[in-house]
Amino acid sequence: MASTLAQKIIARAAGREIVTPGEVVTVNVDLAMIHDSGGPRRVEPILQDLGVGLWDADKVVLISDHFVPGDTDEGARILELTRQWAQKRKVAFHDGLGICHVVLPESGRLKPGMLVVGGDSHSPTGGAFGAYMFGIGATEMAGVLATGEIWLKVPETILVEWRNRLQPGVLAKDIMLALCGRLGMDGGQYQAVQYAGEAITALSMQERMTLSNMAAELGGQAGLIEPDETTAAFLRSVGGDVGSWQGLKTDPGAALLAHHVFDAATLEPQAAAPHSPANAAPVTEISETLIEVAYIGACTGAKYEDLRGAAAILKGRKLAPGVALSVAPASRMDQDRAEAEGIMAVFEAAGAKILPNACGICAGYGTERLGEDVVAISSTARNFKGRMGAASSKVWLGSPLTVAASAIVGRISDPRPFLDEGAEA
């Protein structure tokens, strides 16, 4: 029987030869990731009520990222509770090293073929590595932590194919905003979204992570990319286990719920209007929109490659009058690399404020929030009303390149002319 990549991973986790879409199966979890917001403070009371401990502490990873740096009384208390729980339960703990969806891959704990759950809606990021990873709530997570198992309805697969190559200045973030605009926020129908095509295989791992992460914005359960040599090289670079990945692909003839085909060569930089990623359109159609704040941050917009690209646009330039730029590198590892290469110095010279390696403004945590009536452009994944601060604020979404270009011009701008200028210089 021809099977999809999702079916193959789930069948292994269920101890079955094959599984069929629509079946409900119980699967063994290879790894569980939790963070400070939805983790210990939510699951520990449930575990105590059940009178149980962790099924396997070695298969649990805890990351503090939402309340970092603990600049409110509530945040400080939750971070301390998180640290105490990590010590008590003896789990792997990454404290303030960055956003969980970036730190987990950096730790080398993911590998192709794994079935992984995360206590966050953007957990599909793990699908970039050929792992079936999806987000669950605290009650389900407590069950996983206690038993190592979870039930799962075997999904259909929606194949999203991007033919040809992206043009310079167009990133994975633009792909995802375009998909949200074309397919809608329920375009994934809580199924397995799989990305394929020449444009996808040409992407780096950090760019692939953005695609898988934002499967959540499409309403998908998982966002999968077939593992290849690019995957293996990244995992080796972080000391991870590559495993046997060669057979982890969708078989020819496997049944699909839908197959969407797009031309990457014609895609333009995108921006999404408030208050939904689905309000996406080419930046060339909305370039007169004035902004006051530009934010380069989050798991979809501030990894090392995002920082490098944005800095290439900002180098030697200043922010537009009245525009404030904040930069929150997605992880300490990415920031350290950017520091060593002079990238962070470019942001500082341009007048940017450097924020901690944390979710921060993206999720509306801490003291750095958008004020009343502020118009911002952000490299985050979501722009729901009130998510990043005051309900009256208006957030546009764009790639880190688009955010950088907009910060210079003072209105939403196409980054491609700045790349052309750099090439001429």
User: What per-residue confidence (pLDDT) applies to 243?
Assistant: 83
> Percent of the chain beyond pLDDT 90?
96
Sheet strand arrangement including 132-135: 92-95, 60-64, 31-35, 115-118, 132-135
Domain count, the chain: 2
291 closest CA partner among 322, 327, 257, 333: 322
Q: Are residues 21 and 142 in the same domain?
A: yes
* Claim to verify: residue 284 and residue 191 sit in the same structural domain: no
Per-position DSSP letters for 108-165, written without gaps between them: T---TT-EEEESSTTGGGGGGGT-EEEE--HHHHHHHHHHSEEEEEPPPEEEEEEES-
Last residue of a domain, which of 234, 264, 294?
A: 264
Once rounded to an integer, what is the mean pLDDT over residues 383-409? 97
13 and 62 both lie in a single domain: yes
- Does residue 282 share a domain with residue 332? yes
Lowest-pLDDT range of 54-58, 150-154, 418-422: 418-422
> Which residues have a Cβ under 8 Å from the Cβ of 236 and sit 6 or more positions away?
242
pLDDT at 288: 80
Instruction: Note the pLDDT tens digit of each residue in 162-173.
Output: 999 999 999 999
Over residues 296-338, the pLDDT tens digits come to 999 999 999 999 999 999 999 999 999 999 999 999 999 999 9
**Among residues 240, 264, 288, which one ends one of the domains?**
264
Residue-number span of the structural domain to which 396 is assigned: 270-421
DSSP one-letter string for 13-61: HHT-S---TT-EEEEE-SEEEEETTTSHHHHHHHHHHHT---S-GGGEE
Tens of pLDDT, residue by residue over 117-141, are 999 999 999 999 999 999 999 999 9
DSSP three-state, residue 268? coil
Q: Confidence class of residue 424 from pLDDT cuts 50, 70 and 90?
A: very low
